[in-house]
Structure 1
Amino acid sequence: MSGRVAYLDSSALVKLVVSEPESRALFEFLADWPDRVVSALARVEVPRALARAHASRAAHRRAQATLAHVVVIGIDDDVLSRAARVEPRSLRSLDALHLATAIGLGEDLGVFVTYDDRLAAAAARAALRVEAPG
């Protein structure tokens, strides 16, 4: 894939709002990818991940601001249909939705950013460029 868009899953988004060991490397990597896309799932997954981690209110505000500065792709019938078919079949449903959303970007997709090993393996299997900076 040679597109200009970076797809970020929720594990990557969390690293943008909470300081983790990989956060700096991720920020530096994304400097070369100004066009960023996420699934609408992130609007649920990120706040829930922050709540589980007992993150500060400031982190929740940063999450909202971050989501306001990326393109959020809704989960429509096409995404659902692709998600039902992605390999491997053992891939968790929400991860399948992330992968299906990214695949739907077609030639626009340049990189799939995730820190989830199973999702990374599935994305690589789908011939996507996968990165986990840091």
Structure 2
Amino acid sequence: MIYLDSAAIVKLIHAESETQALRDWLDERAETGWISSALAEVESFRALARHAPQAAVRLHLVLDLIELVDLDPGVRILAQTVRPATVRSLDAIHLATALSIGGRLTSFVTYDKRLADAARDAGLAVDAPA
């Protein structure tokens, strides 16, 4: 499974400098499913509504391709303990969700440096196709 954080999901819907590289990278791994936190639905919509409102209507076309993991008690507890403490709350939820997936996860895709560093420190393979 490939974990996509909200920034990666937004790039799939709204063209940014890394969009084509991300699409190509995912196409090369077409046999691997996508997964994210249910939080990504709200977070991605809010980002698109702010920066590309016309693109927000396409969000569910992409979300339908992603297995969304509920914010269950285990993820919430794990999110409270991820390190370092400087990881922002929503990013901690993404990281905790990815960690809860375990061995099924092959890559954690994020374009946030602080989150990428925390994910690497937690033992995840991190990618940011650009």
Q: Secondary structure at the match of 2:35?
A: strand
Aligned residues: 128
Aligned twin of 1:93: 89
Gaps of 5+ in 1: none
- What are structure 2's unaligned runs of at least 5 residues? none
Alignment of 1:37-52 (within 5 A): 37-52=35-50
Q: Contact 2:14/2:52 (CA < 8 Å) preserved in 1?
A: no
Identity level (%):
46
Structure with bigger RCO (C-alpha 8 Å, 6+ apart): 1
CA RMSD of aligned residues (A): 0.9
Runs of 4+ aligned structure 1 residues displaced above 3 Å come to none
Instruction: Report SS of the residue matched to 2:108.
Output: strand
By how many angstroms is 1:29 displaced?
A: 0.8
TM-score in terms of structure 1 length: 0.92
Q: Using the alignment, how far apart are the partners of 2:57 and 2:53 within structure 1?
A: 10
| Secondary structure, counterpart of 1:122 in structure 2 | helix
1:52 deviation in Å? 1.2
Q: Larger deviation: 74-83 or 60-69? A: 60-69
